[in-house]
Copies of this chain bind each other. A is one copy, B any other.
Amino acid sequence: MATELIRPILTVDVVLLTLHDDRIQVVLQAREKAPHAGQLALIGGYVHPEEDPSTQTAAARVLRGKAGLSVRVLEQLMTFSGGSRDPRGWSASVAYYALLPHRDFAARGDASLRMLPVAEAKGLPFDHDAIVAGAIQRCRRRAAYSSLPAFLLPPEFTLPELRRAYEAALGRSLNDSAFRRKIDELRMIEPVAGSLSKVTARPAQLFRLTKANVVEFDRTV
């Protein structure tokens, strides 16, 4: 066997995204240990080959173990690697992004977790700035032709809420009536019995997704 002696460090990092104030926000966690102890960073940890069937399940385990959260969408972004990204040595981190309805985050009430608008999440340790940027870019791209943004919302939502989720994910405003037409044609959602009463105006119809997982469309939203 040649030079497979040195095996690099393998970790997972999760870019946990949620929607609040009509903006995409990242959930960060204060690091417990060195390096960068005390600083806000992505939720991450070592891959444990003896217990993790894959990096995907490792990411879910870390999310549950360190933040007490489980999510409906957890997708792999890409792997970041190199000798200088982590002072402990040459490492590779398989990055994931996860989507969480804000109410689930709020209900958790974990003091170590902190939510920040993506534009303000700068100066993070390691190469986490680049990982966050990559996650946002991927989500933006994917939002254009999939039901992804719906997973930033609770299971039941109104059309205006869904539109705002798409607008936040895409980073641009959408034409309301055209949006309704498209969503209707894509058969992405179905109405639920009840109605939501916004305090001071006409109540909106509640909808739910027709499919429990992210679906991709041939057309663009």
Contact = CB atoms under 8 A, between A and B. Distances in A.
Interface of A: 2-4, 6-10, 46-50, 53-56, 76, 78-79, 81-83, 89-90, 92, 94, 220
A183 to B, nearest CB: 19
- What 4 A-B pairs come out closest when comparing CB atoms? A49-B90, A7-B7, A55-B81, A79-B79
A83 B9 contact: no
A79 B81 CA distance: 12
A94 B78 CA distance: 9
A178 to B, nearest CB: 16
Nearest to A90: B49
Given A7-B10, A8-B47, 18 more contacts: A3-B46, A3-B48, A3-B50, A4-B46, A6-B48, A7-B8, A10-B10, A47-B81, A47-B92, A49-B83, A49-B89, A55-B92, A78-B78, A78-B79, A79-B79, A79-B94, A92-B92, A92-B94
A217 to B, nearest CB: 12
B82 A54 contact: yes
21 contacts: A3-B48, A4-B9, A4-B46, A6-B48, A7-B7, A7-B10, A7-B49, A8-B49, A47-B81, A49-B89, A49-B90, A50-B90, A53-B82, A54-B82, A56-B81, A78-B78, A79-B79, A79-B94, A81-B94, A92-B92, A92-B94
